[in-house]
């Protein structure tokens, strides 16, 4: 067992968003480590924090099958969205597959995008017989408090005159009445967990609108409008359901989807990477390894808020953990210390401009991974 421990490397990175999937990152790092030390026992576990790659990560680790449903995208154009059903019957959904930023394209605007398609994905999982559903909340194009999703599941939201409000961001501020009676009855017997990659509250300076709506296409005035709408929505939710999501950590994930599903469906909010690591018994795997290699596209201050490198290091307290990242924003040594990492390696070590990164990212990652392997296995100072 001791000899096996000394020769095993556990590779557990997130995707490098926009360039490489977590599976591809694993493959490249594995190749580099084996070039340095061919006798290594290398175990690859693609990771995700609730955003891009969540379905793949769960299917890769736990087995199951991929399904596809025809749903409405964030701007209501029809699209095909994939979800997973694990071997134990649990459904794994990425809300971004139906309501993600890339689907909105150049017309992105969180006042007019909706999570309606995410509700249709949940309904597809219910139709498939799933009564436990994990929903990855990363990568949304929306700031609708989840009312689009809930509308697709049968809830109704009306204004002071009894007219139904649009199931999108602009409808939030008009909600005077909530009618949950029409919700799909199967939801009462379904355990739903929203996998949050952030701990943002629903509104306020650190909330869904101010922090994330600008990257979804909102200008400064629209950000303030959306924040005001989310505040109003939280008050209405409290009045109708008794659920207080006004300061609930994580309620702002996916533009408030997490808060809305918690209030009306009783959904649990959990860290995405924490849930995955727990399900695959990562702690035991790390304990039997000589080294754990993790990473993500960029390591910065937000990495402390439930991102993959933070979670992996937390669940490998007795094993050295290094991270290989596309880029670093901030002091590398300080970030490594705060994340519990032995060292951070930057794949873009040449400082390539953005327009060159996609072309050279794979060879740069392989080079820096080989350097990390040499540092660990050949440098006697470590």
Is the pTM here over 0.85, yes or no?
Answer: yes
> How high is the mean pLDDT of the chain?
94
Tens digit of each residue's pLDDT (9 = 90 or more) over 244-283: 999 999 999 999 999 999 999 999 999 999 999 999 999 9
Closest CA to 260 of 239, 242, 240, 245: 245
At residue 58, the pLDDT reads 96
Q: Tell me the C-alpha distance between 362 and 322, whole Å.
A: 19
Residue pair 187/265 in contact by the 8 Å Cβ criterion:
yes
Q: What percent of the chain has pLDDT over 70?
A: 97
What six digits make up the tokens of 21? Answer: 């999937």
**CA–CA dist 255, 167 (Å, integer):** 13
> How far is it, in rounded angstroms, from Cα 280 to Cα 278?
6
The mean per-residue pLDDT over the stretch 192-213 comes to 94
Least confident of 131-135, 167-171, 321-325, 375-379: 375-379
H helices present in the chain, as ranges: 2-7, 22-36, 54-62, 95-99, 101-104, 116-127, 147-152, 169-172, 208-212, 220-241, 253-265, 272-279, 282-287, 308-314, 332-339, 354-378
Q: Enter the DSSP assignment of 161.
A: T
Nearest to 55 by CA among 31, 78, 25, 23: 23
Cα 220 from Cα 305, distance rounded (Å)? 25
Please give the average per-residue pLDDT across 58-70, as a whole number. 96
Describe the strand order of the beta sheet including 291-294 as a list of residue ranges.
41-44, 8-11, 291-294, 321-325, 343-346
* Cα radius of gyration (the chain): 21
Residue 1's pLDDT is 38
- pLDDT-derived band at 378, boundaries 50, 70, 90: confident
pLDDT at 380: 39
More confident residue, 1 or 332: 332
The residue-averaged pLDDT of 103-122 equals 97
Q: Are 121 and 93 in contact (CB under 8 A)?
A: yes
Spatial distance between the Cα atoms of 133 and 146, rounded to a whole number of angstroms: 16
DSSP codes joined into one string, 264-297 = HH--EEEEHHHHHHHHTTHHHHHHT-SEEEE--S
Which of 97, 104, 176 has its CA nearest to residue 142? 104
- Structure tokens that stand for 308 in this block: 């993959």
Q: What is the mean pLDDT of residues 100-106?
A: 95
Give the span between the Cα atoms of 137 and 195, in whole angstroms.
6
pLDDT over threshold 60, residue 376? yes
Q: H or E stretch including 92?
A: strand 91-94
SS3 89: coil
Identify the structural domains of the chain with CATH numbers, from first to last. 2-45+280-378 (3.40.50.10350), 54-273 (3.90.1510.10)
Residue 114 has pLDDT above 70, yes or no: yes
Overall size of the chain counted in residues: 382
Which one, of 190, 195, 175, lies nearest residue 254 by Cα?
195
Q: Give dist(CA 222, CA 199) in Å, integer.
A: 22
In this prediction, residue 285 carries a pLDDT of 95
Average pLDDT over residues 289-313: 93
pLDDT of 379 reads 63
Confidence of residue 305 (pLDDT cuts 50, 70, 90): confident
- Joined tokens for residue 57: 């990560």
Mean pLDDT of 107-115: 97
Asked if pLDDT for residue 113 goes beyond 70, the answer is: yes
Q: State in Å, rounded, how far the first CA of the chain is from the last one.
A: 22
Q: How far is CA 262 from CA 16, 50, 122, 266, in A?
A: 30, 16, 14, 5
């Amino acid at each position: 067992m001791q000899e096996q421990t000394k020769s095993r490397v556990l590779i557990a990175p997130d995707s490098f968003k926009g360039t490489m999937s977590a599976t591809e990152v694993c493959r490249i790092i594995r190749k580099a480590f084996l070039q340095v030390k061919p006798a290594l026992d290398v175990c690859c576990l693609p990771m995700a924090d609730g955003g891009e790659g969540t379905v793949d990560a769960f299917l890769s680790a736990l087995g199951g099958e991929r399904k596809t449903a025809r749903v409405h995208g964030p701007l209501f154009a029809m699209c095909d969205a994939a979800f997973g059903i694990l071997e134990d019957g649990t459904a794994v959904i990425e809300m971004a597959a139906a309501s993600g930023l890339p689907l909105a394209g150049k017309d992105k605007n969180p006042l007019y995008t909706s999570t309606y398609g995410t509700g249709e994905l949940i309904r597809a999982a219910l139709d498939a017989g799933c009564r436990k559903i994990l929903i990855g909340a990363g990568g949304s194009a929306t700031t609708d408090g989840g009312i689009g999703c809930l509308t697709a599941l049968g809830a109704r939201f009306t204004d002071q005159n009894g007219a139904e409000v649009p199931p999108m961001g602009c409808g939030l501020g008009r909600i005077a009445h909530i009618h949950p009676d029409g919700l799909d009855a199967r939801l009462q017997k379904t355990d739903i967990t929203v996998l949050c990659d952030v701990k943002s509250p629903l509104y306020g300076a650190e909330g869904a609108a101010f922090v994330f709506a600008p990257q979804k296409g909102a200008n400064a005035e629209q950000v303030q409008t959306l924040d005001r709408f989310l505040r109003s929505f939280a008050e209405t939710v409290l009045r109708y359901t008794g659920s207080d999501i006004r300061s609930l950590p994580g309620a702002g994930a996916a533009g408030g989807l997490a808060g809305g599903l918690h209030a009306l469906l009783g959904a649990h909010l959990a860290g995405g990477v924490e849930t995955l690591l727990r399900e695959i018994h990562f702690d035991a795997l790390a304990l039997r390894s000589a080294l754990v290699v993790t990473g993500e596209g960029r390591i910065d201050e937000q990495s402390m808020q439930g991102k993959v490198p933070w979670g992996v290091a937390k669940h490998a307290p007795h094993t050295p953990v290094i991270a290989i990242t596309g880029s670093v924003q901030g002091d590398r040594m300080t970030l490594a210390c705060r994340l519990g990492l032995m060292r951070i390696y930057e794949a873009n070590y040449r400082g390539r401009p953005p327009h060159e990164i996609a072309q050279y990212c794979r060879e740069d990652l392989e080079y820096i991974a080989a350097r990390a392997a040499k540092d660990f296995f050949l440098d006697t100072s470590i």
